[in-house]
Structure 1
Amino acid sequence: MVRVAVAGASGYMGAELLRLLCVHPNITLTGVTSDRLAGEALTKAYPHLRGLSELRFHDLDAEWLASVADVVFLALPHMESQKAVPILRRHGRRAIDLSADYRLRDPNDYVTWYKAPHIDLSGLGEAVYGLAELHRKAIAQAALVATPGCYPAGAILATAPLFRAGLARLDGVVIDGKSGVTGAGAQGRRIDPMYLYTEANENVQAYGMASHRHTPEIEQELGALAGAPLRVAFTPHLVPLNRGLFTTASVPVTSAVTTTRLLDVYREFYAGEPFVRVLDEGERPTTRAVVGSNYCDVTVVADPRTNRAVCVSAIDNLGKGGAANGIQNLNVMLGWGERTGLEAPPVYP
């Protein structure tokens, strides 16, 4: 059994990691950290895990994590993982990071978007972007994997086939994302009016307009697929859901194309992918159909009037948008079947 630990296990993403890891057949959960909950029983914070773990939270200590685990998941605030990863790598441990710390290839992007220089340039150069649908072979050889952000996961999976096939123009790409409140991460546990029930319920809010930190991540991966730099107009929204993320992208196309042709391109691109479901013409993705899972439902429709493709995806922001995708990366890194520990279907209703 492979020993696995989770650093930063007191947030929503950490909680979802624990739920999945507790029942993964090939691993033993050997450590969890939270400075806020250090010393407390795991099941006191998460009573839904009673009977699945007897662990207690430890304070964040990378040396300790390296001593108790072979693989460490990091669900820490942005700019914190880069302090722990060099220690883990020095001890030969593999790391799967769920923060933004190793997603962007250009270190200058961290100064621009995160207002701080990156302090682990060696690790940044080593890290592999953890979206198996694009980088499976590299993930299989990686010791450090950067799991995508929730919005980029939804946006990239919604549009990747167009850019790979050369059907997308590189100007005028517009992406709209709508996420449940758990997408706020640890902020969702603080007294912030934006996330209070009375503010979030029966309400939709745009935020991070023209400035959201996931923008360069989307541009990086779609630009790599297209073979040229691009810019996207990305706007995220908070919607009154516990979990779920819905993406609509309007992408200019290079030539007239039908919905049937576009769907054929998508089916070919995602053929054999265990967690991407390309829907038939006329079917619509919904967040309800993917919640609690690692699935991504996608579709695309041609809009000949505007010479655009309308691309839609639905994921669970804590699933394919984070923790479950991290488990998929673990499976790829260790040569296990990608569905291992992720076989459960989405939760319904």
Structure 2
Amino acid sequence: MSYKIPLFDLNFDEKEEQAVIDTLKSKWISTGPKTIEFENKFSEMLEVKHSVALSNCTVALHLAMKLLDIKEGDEVICPSLTFVATCNAIRYVNAIPVFADVVSKDDLTIDPVDIERRITKRTKAIIVMHFGGFACDMDNIMEIARKHNLKVIEDACHAPLSEYKGQKLGSIGDLGCYSFFSNKNISTGEGGMLITNNTEYYERAKLLRSHGMTSMSYERSKGHSTTYDVVDNGFNYRIDDIRSAIGIVQLDKIEEDLNKRKEIREMYLLKMESIDRIIVPFSDCENFSSNYIFPIILKNSDYKRRDKIRDKLAEAGIQTSVHYPAVHRFSIYEKYAVSLKNTEYVADNLITLPMHSGLTEKDIEYITKTLKSFC
């Protein structure tokens, strides 16, 4: 279906095309100089010591589990209002996901109070997800982690350059994970990044990324080594230089893109003041956000009414989505299911409206007027 106003739009132009062509002409297309440049540029922008570029964010989350030595039977507290990959990574190491609720309909991030309530002797880590690019309550979460000797992983897929009290999201916990999937703020088609200030984690992540080998093909091609050892049971989680070259261009564009998204969000907020049957989460947020998506929550509603409104918006040419179905309701997580009052209401009544830097004031006017007529 072709939409008058799509949910997102790829921020690509001839610069990404030229980056791919230049990389192809260089004759080095696997992990090499462009990947190193991408990692260094990402570290500089995120104000963090180390970045490891990977094939996607799911593997970044998996490596985070391995680096923190999360094992079978360990418990990891996580949100249910997230993409399933956040929780799947816990199961990859046979650990147990313990689902915690979100704060409220106004704040869709994991609730520190509920986190602490769910800690047991088997709890080893907390995964937070900065929903939509809006920061979790990291002061309280880090204090809980210190109090109970827990590790913290930040799923920052939605949050490149987003901040919490001046700190970049992803750099506050022990490890941060980012996604460069096609609809993310930074897109390479597929791709991810693991960041940390811990040099030991960084060195092992590089080993695990490429089969546990002590040197990679690019290093050997430059004469830095002629052989290698295998010292860990690693994986093939490498990104290639073609996608890294695209990522470098995307990093050059990201600040302008995020500032435009901020303007678009402000337009949305202004025009939605007259719609009294919806809640706009994070409307009072003071931290800088990537504004990855623009979610709204219907008041006094249920999933049937939500779905009818989505259908009507689609008929009007407006593409929407739902971020996200609650993970604890999926069949595969049935045995870990708990009652999460806020999460369940949000999952049934959330509509994700279009958000990308190509939207105009006219687009926002049309979306909000159309939404108001259906609400």
Fold shared, TM-score > 0.5 on shorter chain: no
Structure ranking higher on relative contact order (CA contacts 8 Å, 6+ apart) = 2
TM-score (norm 2): 0.27
Which is helix-richer, 1 or 2? 2
Highest Rg: 1 or 2?
2
Higher strand residue share: 1
